[in-house]
Homo-oligomer: A and B are copies of this chain.
Amino acid sequence: MTEDEIEVVYRVRAASSGIDARIEALLLEQTVELQRAALRTAYVREHFVGRVIAADPVGADEFRVRLAQPADTVAGDPAQLLNVLFGNCSLQPEVELEDVRIPPALVRTLGGPRFGTAGLRRLTGVRGRAITASVLKPIGLSVGETAALCRALALAGLDVIKDDHGLADHSYCPFTDRVRVCLAATAEAAKATGRRTLYVPNLIGSPATVLRQAREAKELGAEAVMVSPMLLGLAFFNELVQDLGRPVLAHPAFGGAQRIAPVALLGKLFPLYGADAVIYPNAGGRFSYSRDVCSGIARALRAPDAAIAPAMPAPAGGIKIENVASVLGSFGADTMLLVGGSLLESPDPDTLLRRSRQFVEAVHAFPYPP
């Protein structure tokens, strides 16, 4: 691999007898999109056609194919990078994008997490243990109900309280009002507990809407935000973080629509494009990622194989407070542990407070290895 090449790894289902032709087609599809014989100019043949690094069988009629594509095909454009990685071949069901390695100059253009794990630790003041996080939901709560829920969770001592990713600018709970009351609720709770809670509003919409929400959130005093990069579009996500000046939690919604391996999408592309913490479905919850996939995502975020800051894994989705120790056993201290339903499942406010405190205590008391 040279510094002018992007390494792209695919899983390809094809008969062994036809694999060479299939790889040649895949190599050309993602850049020049013509057969080699149809390339008229020597410049194109020499500078815009990638090469095959390796093709190893990984099962019956299945191969791991490593390609090197010329970085010049990307023009430093975050959307065009996706195109070269998985534009047309996303439409070919026998191809799955498994891994990517981006050369340094392009990594610098995209920038990666602006704050990352270190920034989130600075902001929350949490050291040596996992960060506790929960969610304001369901959709449909009024401004007052949202504030009350936020206050209860903050009084229980949670480090991070984020909006549900489905909270938009709803008429019954407008964005500006919601952010204002939740920031006030966490500030008020901090006076009572002596402990700060970070409220993280969800930004959602088309770019004009999201940029306005980002401006408002900052003016109101929000110190971090959440977005769903696949709902917003990864290219816009990358533009957003250029000037945001706040840590970003990335939510995986709509992220399953492509056959991109979860480690590649959530563990590598999300932070490369600028996520500081990445929420992903934990094994054993209501989503289907295996334990191996989840540890793979966490590893990729913490020890990026590109020159970017480490980002924080935020496992979520069906984590029960009863299982906190087991999850921390897998993920350790550099984790934002996001528990929603397990705190919110009882309609009784006392239970909410009790269970939230139980969660906080479990995370604080866990014997993290030194």
Contacts and interface: CB of A to CB of B under 8 A. Distances in A.
A39 interface: yes
Interface string A189-219: 0000000000000001111110000000000
A4 B289 CA distance: 35
A323 interface: no
A38 B347 contact: yes
A137 B32 contact: yes
Interface stretch (A55-63, A77-85, A123-131): A77-85
Interface in A260-276: 260
A369 to B, nearest CB: 30
Contacts of A44: 138-141
A329 interface: no
Nearest to A137: B33
A72 interface: yes
A31 interface: yes
A295 interface: no
A253 B346 CA distance: 44
Interface of A is mostly: loop
A355 B170 CA distance: 55
A341 B36 CA distance: 11
Contacts of A118: none
Interface stretch (A228-236, A301-309, A356-364): A228-236
A205 B35 contact: no
Contacts of A73: 139-140, 166
Interface in A113-146: 137-142, 145
Interface string A82-104: 11101111111110000000000
Contacts of A231: 79-80, 82-83, 87, 233, 235
B83 A253 contact: yes
A165 B83 CA distance: 8
A220 interface: no
Contacts of A252: 91
A45 to B, nearest CB: 9
A270 to B, nearest CB: 13
Interface residues of A, number: 86
Contacts of A286: 25, 29, 92
A205 B258 CA distance: 19
A12 to B, nearest CB: 13
Most buried by B among A238, A286, A341: A286
Contacts of A315: none
A126 to B, nearest CB: 26
Nearest to A280: B91
16 contacts: A34-B340, A39-B347, A44-B141, A73-B139, A75-B169, A77-B168, A77-B205, A77-B209, A79-B168, A83-B166, A83-B254, A86-B257, A90-B253, A94-B288, A206-B238, A256-B258
Given A78-B205, A80-B168, A207-B235, 13 more contacts: A34-B345, A41-B145, A43-B140, A73-B166, A79-B231, A83-B228, A87-B253, A87-B254, A90-B253, A92-B287, A231-B235, A232-B236, A257-B259
Top 4 A-B pairs, shortest CB-CB distance: A233-B233, A90-B256, A32-B138, A48-B140
